[in-house]
Each structure stands twice: as structure tokens, then as C-alpha cells.
Amino acid sequence: MIICSVSENKDLEKRVSITPEIAKKYINLGFEIQLSENYGKHLGFEKSEYIKLGVKFVSDDKKLIESADIIIQMGLLDEDKISILKSNQTYIGILNPNENKIKLEELARKKINLFSLELLPRITRAQSMDVLSSQANLAGYKAVVESFSTFEKAIPMMMTAAGTIPAAKVLVVGAGVAGLQAIATAKRMGAIVFATDVRIASKEQVESLGGKFLTVDEAENLETEGGYAKEASEEFKKKQEELLSETLKKIDIVICTALIPGKKAPLIIKEKMLKNIKPGSVIYDLAASQGGNVAFTEVDKIIEKDGVKIMGERNILNKLPASSSSLYSKNVFNFVSNLYDKESKKININLEDEIIAKTIIK
């Protein structure tokens, strides 16, 4: 069976889906790997490195896609390339089924096997395939690094003969995978860290990393069976807003990570709340591409309001493409290994397997 991957539009996506390390693993399983010319070169993955492993390069993307049994990408390819897909091919990636519903339905009607990896169930067996967690982990780390580099004061407490510089105070909104990594990174760099989340279960995790967990009185446990956050009631939102408004008065840096799968990101820090933040403070909004957790967030811009800088990027992982590609390609390899029947050397779409049943798009 042939697995292919086409070079992404590097203006939008610098990650790749098959690193040399993972190409070798696919070949050892019995697959043939075919890639676009210059695939991964921008990340330092040389063509010669792939060729030594037995990877083939195809200069014509149309022929590359037509000859493949399995196509692995970060997301959906451009319309002209997607139209090449034919029945019985398997396409794997982060397909964003909420935004791409119509396109995916059309492809499913063509009997193309579509697997969207952000739909993976949160079960132990799927942990090694969990692309959302691996990518969010890096995003949480990078958001802290980016905001700290923009903040114009020192982060850790420094005691000198000339006086003491106090430690920066950081608030992390949302204690999922990205938020927990943000807490850990900020603590390692010497900040005092506070965190809040609608899920009560997050309290123990936040405190284990050295953060102080903030929660409203008589808080609801807003956690789905899958472990994700769900929409809060209006009463809860009001209480949370009051708590955050007061907390923001003493905060230097805010990292926002709150997302609800398949929905617009909740607006958490509203315009009137921004007035409580000290000039010179920095907010990094990881939810920018889904509408943002902060009033005035604009994708790929730094907006300044009353001396407060608000940052947010379409794809922060384009700043860590080598590391994020390494983790993503391993996640996908583990998914393909589960999908592949070694005896028949074919894809086995076993809908009794929860991993396959939850990720396939019909």
C-alpha cells in the first residue's frame, strides 16, 4: 500500500505529517512512502535523508495523490487537490468537520474514507494518537514564551543590591492540556501563577504544578464525559466575570486557552474587564483563530488597548514546526498502525473499534 503526503501551503502551515523517523516506521510495516518534491526541506529534513530510507519523491502532486491508498495531511488540501481524490482512498488529518461540513460530506459521498483525528475518543488506548493533546502541549509552552518576550519586565523575582524586582504574576484561563503546560512553563521561569477553569477536576492538576486555582463559590462542574469543557450557565459566567475582574488588577500576563470543541471560543475577558489590567501587561489569546477569549483580539496582530498588549496567532505552532511535526507524525503513525491489518496488508475499517468509529466521517 502507498502512503503519500503533499507539501502544505507554507504561508499557512509549516508542519509536515511524515518525518524521516516516521517514514522509516511506515516502511518497516510494509508501506511504500511517496512525498512531494522538497517535502520537509524547510525543517531541515533533506531529500537524501528520506531517499536513504526508501522514500520516493514525485514532482507532480496530481500523480502523487492519484497513486496513493492513504493520504496523510495536517488538514484539508486546497480544492484543486481535494478534487483528485477517488473512492476507496483513505484521507487522514485534522479535518475540522464543523467548518468543513459540506466539503467533507461531498467527499464521503464519493466513498472516500475520511478520518478526522481531533474526534478521537479520550480513552487510554487512543492516548498515543491524541493530536489535540500533543499540539496543545506545545502551544501552551510557546504562548508563555511569546508573551514573556513581549513583556517589558523581568519574570522571576530578583534580589539585588539596588533593590528587589518582584516576580511577574501570570493568570492562565483554561486548565486543559495547553493551560497546564502554560502553568508549568511560567512556574519554571519564576512567575507566580494563578489559573481558572470551569472544570472542578482541574484544581488538583493546577495545584500539583504549583499554581493557585481560582474558582467561584458553589462552582458547577462543567465537564463533558469526554473530559472537555462545556458551556457555562449565565449565572456561572457572571460569577466568573466578577472573580476575574478582581483578579486582573494584580496580574501582569494573561494566557487564555479556553475552547469548546466545535463552537466559537467563549468571550471571557470583556472590554470593561480590560480596564482593570495594569498598563504594560500582556495577554496571549490562544483561542484567537476561533473568535478569541478576549475582546479586541485580532488574528496575527498585537493590539494595544490602554497600554495592554493583546496577542493572538492563527497558528502558533508555525513557530515550533519541527517539534510539532515530530509529535503529529508519531500520533498519525499510531493511528494508521491501529487501522492497518498486517495479515491482509489492507486497511481494516472496523466500526466496532471505538477509535475508528468516532473518527470516521460518514
Residues 6+ apart with CB under 8 A from 142: 316, 317, 319, 320
CA distances from 99 to 87, 94, 261, 264, 289 (A): 23, 11, 12, 11, 12
Would the CA dihedral through 73, 79, 83, 84 be positive or negative? negative
Active site residues: 122, 127, 130, 133, 228
Please name the amino acid found at residue 127. Q
CA distances from 230 to 213, 223, 226, 262, 323 (A): 19, 6, 10, 11, 30
Strand, coil or helix: what is 315? coil
Looking from the CA of 93 toward its CB, the CA atoms found within 13 Å total 23
- Residue 287's φ and ψ, nearest 5 degrees, are -95, 10
Contact 340, 26 (CB under 8 A): no
DSSP 98-113: TTSHHHHHHHHHTT-E
Burial 312-333 (b: 16+ CB within 10 A, else e): bbebbbbebbebbbbbbbbbbb
Rounded Cα distance, 147 and 133, in Å = 21
Strand, coil or helix: what is 220? coil
134 grid coordinates = 500533543
The DSSP letter of residue 269 is B
